[in-house]
Structure 1
Amino acid sequence: MPTQELLDRFLAGLLPLGPPAVWAHGSLAGGDYQEGRSDLDLIAVLPQPVTPVLAWRVATLHSRLRAEPLAAGLHCSYLTPGTSHDSRRPHLTWAHRRLTRRPVTPVTRRELHTFGRVLYGPAPADLLAPVPDPELDEFVVRDQREFWRPAVRRARLWTQDIWVDVGLTTLARAAVTLREGRLISKREALEALPGLGAPLAVVEDIRERRYGNPAPPAPEWTVRRGELTRSYLGPAIDALVAAYS
Structure 2
Amino acid sequence: MSDLPLAIAIDGPAAAGKSTVAKRVAKALAYIYIDTGAMYRSLTYQALQEGLDINDESSIIELLHSITISLDQNQQVYVNKKNITEEIRSTDVTNHVSKIASISSVRKELVHRQQVLAANRGVVMDGRDIGTSVLPDAEIKVFLIASVEERAMRRHQENLQKGIPSDLDQLRKDIELRDKMDSERKVSPLKKADDAIEIDTTSLDIDEVTQRILQLVKQYKEKA
TM over 0.5: no
Q: Which gives a bigger RCO, structure 1 or 2 (Cα 8 Å, sep 6+)?
A: 2
The structure with the largest helix share of the pair is 1
Which entry has the higher C-alpha Rg, 1 or 2?
1
For Structure 1 versus Structure 2, the TM-score category normalised by the shorter chain is 0.3 to 0.5
Query: With structure 1 as the length reference, what TM-score do the two structures score?
Result: 0.31
Query: With structure 2 as the length reference, what TM-score do the two structures score?
Result: 0.33
